[in-house]
Amino acid sequence: MGRLDGKVAFITGAARGQGRSHAVRLAQEGADIIAADICSSVDTVPYPTASSEDLAETVRLVEAEDRRIFSGQADVRNFEALKGVLDAGVAEFGRLDIVLANAGILSFAPAHEMPEEMWAAMIDINLTGVWHTTKAATPHLLERGGGSIIITSSGAGLRGAAYLPHYCAAKHGVVGLMRSLAIELAPQMIRVNTVHPTNVDTDMIMNEAVFTAFRPDLENPGREDFVEPMTAMNAMPLPWVEPIDISNAIVFLASDEARYVSGITFPVDLGMSAK
> Residues 74-111: pLDDT tens digits?
999 999 999 999 999 999 999 999 999 999 999 999 99
**Domain range list for the chain:** 8-204+243-267, 206-239
Task: For residue 139, give the H/E element and its range.
Answer: helix 129-144
- What percentage of the chain has pLDDT greater than the value 70? 100
- What percentage of the chain has pLDDT greater than the value 90? 95
Per-residue pLDDT tens over the stretch 182-222: 999 999 999 999 999 999 999 999 999 999 888 888 889 99
C-beta separation of 86 from 147 below 8 A: no
CB count within 10 Å of CB 55 equals 23
C-beta separation of 217 from 254 below 8 A: no
Confidence of residue 133 (pLDDT cuts 50, 70, 90): very high
C-beta separation of 189 from 146 below 8 A: yes
Mean pLDDT of 59-69: 98
C-beta separation of 11 from 87 below 8 A: no
CB count within 10 Å of CB 242 equals 13
**50 phi and psi, to 5 degrees?**
-70, 155
Which of 47, 163, 167, 260 is the catalytic position?
A: 167
Q: In the prediction, which pLDDT does 216 show?
A: 87
Q: In the prediction, which pLDDT does 83 show?
A: 98
Domain 8-204+243-267 is in which class?
alpha beta
Distance CA 24, CA 188 (A): 28
Q: Kind of pairing, strands 265-268 and 98-101?
A: unpaired
Nearest 5°: the CA angle 168, 174, 175 is 95
Q: In the prediction, which pLDDT does 199 show?
A: 96
Q: In the prediction, which pLDDT does 75 show?
A: 98
Judge whether 47 counts as a catalytic residue: no
* C-alpha pair distances (Å), 105 with each of 29, 127, 159, 166, 191: 28, 11, 18, 11, 25
Q: In the prediction, which pLDDT does 264 show?
A: 98
Q: In the prediction, which pLDDT does 214 show?
A: 83
Per-residue pLDDT tens over the stretch 138-193: 999 999 999 999 999 999 999 999 999 999 999 999 999 999 999 999 999 999 99
Per-residue pLDDT tens over the stretch 5-55: 999 999 999 999 999 999 999 999 999 999 999 999 999 999 999 999 999
